[in-house]
Amino acid sequence: MGVVMFYHLTRSSAEETARVLIDKARGQGWNVMIRGTDPEALDRLDARLWLEPADRFLPHGREGGPQDARQPVLLGRGPIVNDAKGLILIDSADVTEAEARALERVFVLFDAARPDRLGFARSQWKRLTEAGLPAQYWSEESGRWEKKAEKG
């Protein structure tokens, strides 16, 4: 059973933070699924992953293609089909307790400027920790990421 890591975005965008987390997960040899709820936000992230950084290509794909199961990084709204060990949740996407237990890491990214997203992340924290999953809460309010809470 892995850890569910909550990232309270106050300075960085979800796209910037996702890129850093993808690099870390890929450095561990893990495939990654990025699950969102907004197709336009997934389109923006897809475009950004193709272009940035310009000196390093990140192989990835959008859900719904014939090679989904082979993608090292897959962006979509559905279930994990690429044997991912890391799941990045953006735009209030959700994860089940069973899914989270089967993964090495779940990264929940939520924007401080969006009260609805903050509320949803709080309900996820409560539900997942009450189910016995270990969780960490990270904040970048000081200008760098700091672990502010840990449970389990």
Regarding pTM above 0.85, the answer is yes
pLDDT of 121 above 70: yes
Residue 14 pLDDT exceeds 80: yes
pLDDT average, residue stretch 35-50:
89
3-state SS of 85-134 is CEEEECCCCCCCHHHHHHCCEEEEEEECCCHHHHHHHHHHHHHHHHCCCC
pLDDT value at position 2?
A: 86
Structural domains in the chain, sorted by start: 3-151 (3.40.50.10110)
Q: What is the mean pLDDT of the chain?
A: 92
Q: What is the mean pLDDT of residues 114-140?
A: 95
The band of 54, judged by pLDDT with boundaries at 50, 70 and 90, is low
Contact 17, 139 (CB under 8 A): no
